[in-house]
Amino acid sequence: MEWTQQQINLRPRSRGFHIITDEVLAALPQLRDCSVGVLHLFIQHTSASLAINEDASPDVRSDLEGHFNILAPEHARHYRHTDEGPDDMPAHIKAVLIGSALTIPIANGGLLLGTWQGIYLCEHRNHGGTRKVVATVMGAMQ
């Protein structure tokens, strides 16, 4: 059993749900040598999150963004944490609801994602900047 760990710097993106599967795979060429294992991804931010969801229809991503904006709207009167702008507290709420980590099985050099599944960066700030993700691969290498 071998372990590797590295940080992936994701380029800045606008607010919304973005598919980053190819970017993650490009940053982790060692996955191709893993016969069986697990990829753990952890985002080091409190205003962005990671998720797995449909990677085929862009409507899914825009509908998710719209729905989460209803769940955690900007300018809610009950927010106390407002120093960093109107999008900050809603971003924290969305990140708590979605989560900061993913665990994905690996087999025969690839991720065992379902047919329509992709890895999402859920950017909850209007201008979130570069996002850092720690990728840990645990597995049997060929």
For 42-73, how does the pLDDT look when each residue is reduced to its tens digit (9 = 90+)? 999 999 999 999 999 999 999 999 999 999 99
Does 80 map to a domain?
Answer: no
Does 47 map to a domain?
Answer: yes
pTM for the structure as a whole: 0.97
Does 81 map to a domain?
Answer: no
Mean pLDDT of the chain: 97
**SS3 string of the chain?**
CEEEEEEEEECCCEEEEEECHHHHHHHCHHHHHEEEEEEEEEECCCCEEEEEEECCCHHHHHHHHHHHHHHCCCCCCCCCCCCCCCCHHHHHHHHHHHCCEEEEEEECCEECCCCCEEEEEEEEEEECCCEEEEEEEEEEEC
Q: Give the total number of structural domains in the chain.
A: 1
Does 91 map to a domain?
Answer: yes
* CATH number, position 14: 2.60.120.460
Does 82 map to a domain?
Answer: no
Does 94 map to a domain?
Answer: yes
Does 27 map to a domain?
Answer: yes
Domain that holds residue 103: 2-73+87-141
The percentage of the chain sitting over the pLDDT mark of 70, rounded to a whole number, equals 100
